[in-house]
Amino acid sequence: MTETTAHKPGVKRFIGIDWDLGALRSASPRFWLWVAFLGTFVVVGVAAWGAFITQGGVVMAQRDGSPWGLWFTNYMYYVGLAAGGLVVYASVHLFGAEQYRPLSRIAVLQAGVFTMLALLGVVSDFEQPIRLLNMVISPNPTAPFVYTGTAAGLYMVLCFVDLWIMLTGTGGEKLAFTMTLIALPAAIYLHTTTAFVLALNKSRELWHSAVMVPIFLTSATASGIAVLFIFAYIFMRVTNVRFKPSMFRSLATLLATVIIIDLFLLSVEVLWTFWPTSAIPGETSRLIEFVAGRYAPFFLPIFVLGFTAFGLLANRKLRHLPAIQITASILYIIAIFLKRYSLMAMGFSLTPLGQPTKIYFPSLVETGIALGILAFGILFVTICVKIMPLEVPKEELEAHHGHGHASLDEAEVAA
């Protein structure tokens, strides 16, 4: 970091990062109100988890028919949001997309935090959390769960190490580039293995599809970029950092592209399940639940929200407007959550013996745990934004001026 920041009052240097603790001292009451609000949810989550551990799985809505529930929905969802942020960051180094460089730090922070939330969800759902050590003592190489679990753990560490490297400037541009070379395949690996947890099951008809892997990657990238959009706008609001409108415009084009690929893949899946020459009773009788049955209120909105978001972003006249970008992002973030939920339920709408199960809707305890975890994540990011130097320094941006195709004038004017 530059010398000037290091000498600001209240700034403490620890593990090579300048932590702006003074910002906490001078924080507004509104900030603390927000922190207290999130803290309440964290407490609720801990209490809900306590209820689960003392009273057992009966307090969950999960049953043999739906052995996995909200936690797994969130696992897929958060892992996706993590990977999406990373794709943006990685494209800076790998594809020379210099226009995204100002986002690199918050993108990596987003990736690390969401992976952490995904893991917390897993740990909070298992009734034998201590026995998770067995995963280390006797891992089973044929279980996809082992790969996604370890991938998530390593990936989380990787993200935070990467963030540290960026914040401290250790190793310079060369190490940053090397880290991208590790991080991007790691993100894809994490995502692929998560998709494999579903796709590698011949026992669950609608999950057992090779398209599951690419569709996971597109959903992840789309929802991740959408969250990054919102994060960037909030970041601008609460800090003095200003991003270029051209960066947002470019991001909007990328988002629209990924959304339409994502929707395309999903449509292909639906088509092939119902087409008379490919329809298999086990698959159609399950998917019919989502198209015209009990799960339709969760599944059909994906298309409505998705195509609306795409329509908003595809329009050249609207694409550059922040309000449109934010609306489209929110629509698609909701759409992907519904998609993860439907995806989870697709394995369970009928049992492997073809018997209809009770519709799964999370219990109060499950919801409490999930909200607690989410609140913890937002709280974590809130504090980080306050005290961490997440703004990419001007020198770094200028150093790469030559590589970027966008002019810096705009950024300088904004700043």
Partner 1 sequence: MSQDKDRALKQAADLEEHPDAPSTTVSRRRFLQGLGFAAGVTAAGVIPALITAAPSAGNESEAAESGSGAPGGEENPLAEIIENDKPVNYPGKPVKYADPAGDQKWAMVIDVKACVGCRKCAYACVKENNIGRTSGFTYIQLLEMEPGEINLETANANYTEGGRADKWYLPVQCMHCAKPTCVYGCPVKATWREPDGIVVIDYDKCIACRNCMITCPYYARHFNWVEPEVPKNEINPKVPLEEKAAVVEKCTFCIQRTRHGQTTACTEACPVGARTFGDLNDPNSDVSIILKTRRAFRLKEELGSEPVIWYVG
Residue 294 binding partner 1, by CB under 8 A: no
Span of 111-119, 126-134, 265-273, 315-323 interacting with partner 1 by CB under 8 A: 126-134
Q: Which of 355, 402, 409, 413 binds partner 1 (CB under 8 A)?
A: 355
Span of 62-70, 92-100, 112-120, 306-314 interacting with partner 1 by CB under 8 A: 62-70
Span of 123-131, 169-177, 218-226, 393-401 interacting with partner 1 by CB under 8 A: 123-131
The structure tokens listed for 162 are 């990467």
Residue 131 binding partner 1, by CB under 8 A: yes
Q: CA–CA separation, 22 vs 58, rounded Å?
A: 47
Q: What is residue 11's DSSP assignment?
A: E
The residue behind tokens 């298309």 is: 303
Residue 144 binding partner 1, by CB under 8 A: yes
Minimum CB distance to partner 1 smaller for 19 or for 72: 72
Residue 350 binding partner 1, by CB under 8 A: yes
Q: What is the DSSP string of 109-148?
A: HHHHHHHHHHHHHHHHH-S-GGGGGHHHHS--TT-HHHHH
The residue behind tokens 């530059």 is: 2
Measured from the CB of residue 144, what is the shortest distance to partner 1 in angstroms? 8
Residue 204 binding partner 1, by CB under 8 A: yes
Give the per-residue contact string, 67-106, with partner 1 (x = CB under 8 A; - = no). Answer: xx--------------------------------------
Measured from the CB of residue 66, what is the shortest distance to partner 1 in angstroms? 10
Residue 201 binding partner 1, by CB under 8 A: yes
Q: What is the chain's Cα-based Rg?
A: 22
Residue 25 binding partner 1, by CB under 8 A: no
Give the total residue count for the chain. Answer: 415
Within residues 268-287, the interface with partner 1 by CB under 8 A covers 281-282, 285
Angle at 118 between CA 251 and CA 71, to 5 degrees: 115
Minimum CB distance to partner 1 smaller for 132 or for 292: 132
Residue 143 binding partner 1, by CB under 8 A: yes
Residues with Cβ within 8 Å of 5's Cβ and at least 6 positions away in sequence, in order, are: 11, 18, 389
Within residues 227-246, the interface with partner 1 by CB under 8 A covers none
The structure tokens listed for 40 are 């309440």
Residue 364 binding partner 1, by CB under 8 A: no
Q: Which of 10, 16, 50, 56 binds partner 1 (CB under 8 A)?
A: 56
Residue 50 binding partner 1, by CB under 8 A: no
Q: What are phi and psi of 357, to 5 degrees?
A: -105, 165
Q: Within 13 Å, how many C-alpha atoms sit on residue 23's CB side? A: 19
| Binding residue count for partner 1, defined by CB under 8 A | 45
Minimum CB distance to partner 1 smaller for 63 or for 249: 63
3-state DSSP percent of the chain in helix, strand and coil, to 5: 75, 5, 25
In terms of C-beta density within 10 A (0-12 exposed, 13-18 middle, 19 or more buried), how is residue 285 classed? middle
Span of 24-32, 58-66, 180-188, 251-259 interacting with partner 1 by CB under 8 A: 58-66
Residue 362 binding partner 1, by CB under 8 A: no
* Helix axes of 70-94 and 322-346: crossing angle, nearest 10 degrees: 130
Inter-residue contact 93 to 177 (CB < 8 Å)? yes
Residue 60 binding partner 1, by CB under 8 A: yes
Cα dihedral 314, 315, 321, 323 sign: negative
Straight-line distance from the first to the last Cα atom of the chain, in angstroms, rounded to the nearest whole number? 19
Q: What are phi and psi of 341, to 5 degrees?
A: -65, -45
Q: What residues line the site for partner 1 (CB under 8 A)?
A: 54-58, 60, 62-65, 67-68, 126-128, 131-132, 134-135, 137-140, 142-146, 149, 197, 201-204, 281-282, 285, 347, 350-355, 358
